[in-house]
């Protein structure tokens, strides 16, 4: 058992490390949220974004409207259908795992922490959702689905310049979606950071399972 675990960790070095680091960072943040130790950070982060209200309303509305549950579900379904049509079944299963995991993790964590959203005086332009605040479903869902699509594109492309041209815009979109939730006053900064960390942990774990040869240092087959 010990040798098997050691072999698994060796073969999945980067994915285990990234998933573990993201999960540990999320846990640390979640404990600070639970104990009320994150207030000063949230206040400073919110103030920094609120200062730009009125100047980036259009862009932020785009991010928050497309990065929600309906938008990410549609994107995941369309991506999956396209991959199935192209007979890329492994990639289709990978994207489904990323998207469905995002929904389950977001729902479970929100029910676990039951953090109230910012007060009504923080709202700007949009209505407050009925769900709990921590972690942000927009941040978690967009991290999982958009990162999943980016990884599929990276797997199917050749050369790191081309891969970087895919990853950078995807990362910028996820950051934009996350920032928009604080901008409109429906989340605290710690909510969106928590969502991104939880999403990153899940995507790293799923990527290590499906594509263990994606980065150097891992050389096992799917499901090893």
Q: What is the pLDDT of residues 111-125, one digit of tens each?
A: 999 999 998 889 999
How far out from the chain centre does Cα 97 lie?
A: 13
Asked whether residue 29 is assigned to any structural domain, the reply reads yes
Contact 106, 151 (CB under 8 A): no
Confidence band of 3 (pLDDT split at 50, 70, 90): confident
Query: Greater confidence, 56 or 214?
Result: 56
Asked whether residue 114 is assigned to any structural domain, the reply reads yes
Phi then psi for residue 184, to 5 deg, are -90, 0
Domain that holds residue 62: 16-210
Q: Note if the bond before 135 is cis, omega within 30 degrees.
A: yes
Asked whether residue 73 is assigned to any structural domain, the reply reads yes
Position 102 pLDDT exceeds 60: yes
Instruction: Report the pLDDT averaged over residues 84-111.
Output: 96
Asked whether residue 216 is assigned to any structural domain, the reply reads no
Can you give the pLDDT at residue 9? 66
Asked whether residue 218 is assigned to any structural domain, the reply reads no
Dump pLDDT digits (tens) for 61-74. 999 999 999 999 99
Please give the Cα distance from 222 to 224 (Å, whole number). 6
Asked whether residue 215 is assigned to any structural domain, the reply reads no
Dump pLDDT digits (tens) for 177-203. 999 999 999 999 999 999 999 999 999
Contact 98, 202 (CB under 8 A): yes
- Helices assigned H by DSSP within the chain: 2-11, 13-34, 39-50, 57-66, 69-85, 89-113, 137-156, 160-183, 189-210
Can you give the pLDDT at residue 15? 81
Percent of the chain clearing pLDDT 70 (strictly above): 92
Instruction: Report the pLDDT averaged over residues 208-222.
Output: 63
Asked whether residue 33 is assigned to any structural domain, the reply reads yes
Instruction: Report the pLDDT averaged over residues 77-96.
Output: 96
Asked whether residue 220 is assigned to any structural domain, the reply reads no
Can you give the pLDDT at residue 13? 72
How many structural domains are present in the chain?
1
Position 221 pLDDT exceeds 80: no
Record the tokens describing residue 105, joined without a space.
């993790």
Please give the Cα distance from 8 to 16 (Å, whole number). 9
Please give the Cα distance from 92 to 58 (Å, whole number). 33
Can you give the pLDDT at residue 197? 98
Record the tokens describing residue 188, joined without a space.
């605290």
Contact 49, 182 (CB under 8 A): yes
Radius of gyration of the chain (CA): 18
Can you give the pLDDT at residue 218? 45
């Amino acid at each position: 058992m010990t040798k098997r675990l050691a072999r698994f960790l060796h073969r999945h070095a980067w994915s285990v490390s990234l998933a573990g680091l993201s999960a540990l960072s999320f846990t640390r943040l979640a404990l600070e949220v639970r104990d009320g130790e994150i207030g000063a950070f949230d206040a400073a982060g919110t103030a920094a974004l609120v200062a730009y209200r009125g100047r980036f309303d259009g862009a932020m509305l785009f991010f928050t409207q497309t990065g929600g549950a309906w938008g990410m579900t549609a994107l995941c379904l369309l991506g999956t259908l396209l991959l199935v049509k192209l007979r890329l079944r492994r990639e289709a299963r990978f994207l489904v795992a990323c998207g469905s995991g995002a929904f389950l993790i977001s729902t479970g964590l929100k029910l676990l922490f039951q953090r109230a959203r910012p007060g009504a005086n923080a709202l700007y332009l949009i209505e407050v959702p009925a769900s709990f605040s921590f972690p942000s479903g927009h941040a978690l869902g967009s991290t999982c689905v958009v990162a999943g699509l980016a990884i599929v594109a990276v797997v199917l492309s050749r050369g790191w310049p081309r891969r970087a041209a895919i990853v950078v815009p995807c990362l910028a979109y996820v950051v934009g979606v996350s920032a928009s939730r604080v901008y409109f006053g429906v989340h605290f900064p710690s909510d969106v950071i928590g969502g991104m960390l939880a999403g990153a942990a899940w995507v790293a774990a799923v990527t290590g399972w499906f594509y263990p040869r994606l980065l150097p240092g891992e050389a096992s087959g799917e499901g090893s």
